[in-house]
A and B are shown apart, each in its own frame.
Chain A
Amino acid sequence: MRRRRPARQVRVLVSAAFVFLVLLAAVMPRLFTARDPLLMHPDVPFAPPGRGYLLGTDEFGRDLLARIAYGARPSLEVAAGSVAVAGAVGSVIGVLGGYGVPVWEALAMRSADVILCFPPILLAMMIAGFLGAGVGHLILIIGFLYIPQFSRLAFAQTLAVRRSEYVEAARAVGAPTVRVLARAIFPNIAGPLIVQASLSAASAMLLESGLSFLGLGVLPPAPSWGLEIATARNYMFQTPYYVLWPSLVLSATILSINTMGDALLDYLDPRRRPGV
């Protein structure tokens, strides 16, 4: 068991550092490059990685490092936005349902059953295809699709704590239902919901990049990793590294978020803590 821990800790630390870098790029892409991701240099298309352009240039001579750095924002906006929507709506529905508030109980379980019937990407493709793509729409679509992930979890967690003594105590002193839910129940089930949020964020990013890859997500000329991979695919024969950079960054980001989510899960669940 001894040897396991350092490997794990290193993995989690590296992941956290990488996620921090990506967050930094999303907030302040200028820290990573002084170049404009949309500025074309028609005289240097497909420049190889090197001194002039650290990662090379694309078919219009745009700097790839700048495009990768600026591409972090739409991905993270969609991931954070959709998880915020799903987390807020799902937790409220789930807590009210789990506490046994009459109509909400049915709403929490049945709405989840119905949403889960649709393979997510199909529904997202259908909505985005007819409603139009773009970051705002993606947030609403993915946020809606991920409601069950939170409502089911909040439902089960609330069900587990609603007969506990501190909830009974809050009720006994005459606290109104809203207060019981907000002050006694929610803080005690927040942990698992936060873990779910990190795992959902990774999966939302996966979905967003897939939709962008198909041309149904983030719209050009905005730099987005999924879109970038789709474009670079057409030039794979000439310049293989063009497709390589966004692929590596996107995969590493999702992997890092997942690794952190897993670590949180292990930390919160004593049975899964390593070495026990």
Chain B
Amino acid sequence: MLRYAVRRAAAALVLVWVVATLVFAFLRLLPGDPVLVILGSESGAQAPSPDQITAVRRALGLDQPPAQQYGRWLARLVRLDLGTSLYDSTSVTADIAQRLPTSLELIVVAVALAVAGGVVLGLAAARCRGTWTDAALSGLLAGGLSIPVFVTGTLMVLVFGVILRWVPIGGFVPITSDPGAFARQLVLPAVALAFGLLGIVGRITRGSVLEVLHQDYVRTARSKGLGEPQVLARHVLRTALIPIVTVVGVQFGILIGGTVLVEYIFNWPGISTLLFTAIQRRDYPTVQGVVLVTSAMFILINLAVDLLYAVLDPRIRYEGET
């Protein structure tokens, strides 16, 4: 197990390095002078002054030879220094550190809602397989998978915020200052974000429950007199949980995508809102930082899922080791 973990961790580290290199190279791969791309000279009405060009060039370190730029970029990364924002000269690392927890609060609540709801609905659909209940639940789950998150979010604002006026339609209150208000603000964005993942978790649950429901060990559990809830909880769901763990990890990228749109709709001051404004301001160091941090998180989560998977299913550890 240790050897497997070390090998996987090393592979993840290499991937982080590749991603960092690509994010570094991105601006230089674009057609044209990266400084002019950032200053938006192609679309802007007035041409940037030579002073502006020199300032941006220096701020990005583009006045030095590429090899040296790359070396400094990696050296700074090791110290977790992502540079300074072109817009207001604040530290990108500090900006991200300030916004990240807000996004994570939203994501954690959404994942919890989606997993709880998806497992219950998927299990119910599997148990009623072939009936209209199954058809209705499967339809709902397919809807979660297909309806764009910004449509769900917008329609929820319309119904619960504008027509019914049950909850506030956007904004943010820190959990430390007023937990009640924080929770009220969190409801709509979290549910909107959870809906998509709910569809995926529900379908996976339905599929894997159907697969194990008629296994011998489930029949054994029933025949030794266990009640139905116990059979489902201890024998069926436990096996069905493995693919669910994987899918939540794999779907993290999609979840981040959903977070971008949900934060935008509900004015949630998280990392995606930071990215969005940074793109509009063409603040490249901030864009670079956010993309790098989220991708690294994505890689780490996949690593965690891989390791968890290996703990749950010993056969995986030995794959490729012979």
The interface of chain A, by Cβ under 8 A from chain B, is: 1-4, 7-8, 11, 113-114, 116-123, 125-126, 129-132, 202, 206-207, 209-210, 213-214, 216, 226, 229, 233, 236-237, 240, 243-244, 247, 250-251, 254-255, 258-259, 262
Contact = CB atoms under 8 A, between A and B. Distances in A.
B246 interface: no
Contact of A119 (B149, B151, B256, B264): B256
A7 B275 CA distance: 44
Interface in B132-180: 132, 134-135, 139, 142-143, 145-151, 154-155, 157-158, 162-163
Contacts of A2: 130
B69 interface: no
Given A210-B148, A250-B151, 7 more contacts: A119-B252, A119-B298, A120-B253, A122-B257, A122-B290, A251-B147, A259-B142
B311 interface: no
Contact of B157 (A116, A117, A121, A236): A236
B256 A233 contact: no
A178 to B, nearest CB: 30
Nearest to A205: B148
Q: Which one of B19, B132, B143, B253 has the greatest number of beta carbons of chain A within 10 Å?
A: B253
B49 interface: no
B279 A125 contact: yes
9 cross-chain pairs, A with B, having the tightest CB-CB distances, nearest first: A121-B257, A129-B279, A255-B146, A119-B253, A119-B256, A4-B130, A251-B147, A254-B146, A7-B135
Contact of B295 (A118, A130, A206): A118
Contacts of B147: 251, 254-255
B30 A210 contact: no
B188 interface: no
A47 to B, nearest CB: 20
Q: Dominant SS at the A interface?
A: helix
15 contacts: A3-B132, A113-B15, A118-B253, A121-B260, A126-B26, A126-B279, A129-B279, A130-B27, A131-B30, A214-B264, A214-B276, A243-B158, A244-B155, A247-B151, A247-B155
B27 A251 contact: no
B68 interface: no
A3 B38 CA distance: 60
Contacts of A214: 260-261, 264, 276
A255 B261 CA distance: 19
Nearest to B139: A11
Given A117-B19, A255-B146, A240 B158 contact: yes
Nearest to A256: B146
B275 A122 contact: yes
B158 A236 contact: yes
Contacts of B46: none
B117 to A, nearest CB: 19
A158 to B, nearest CB: 19
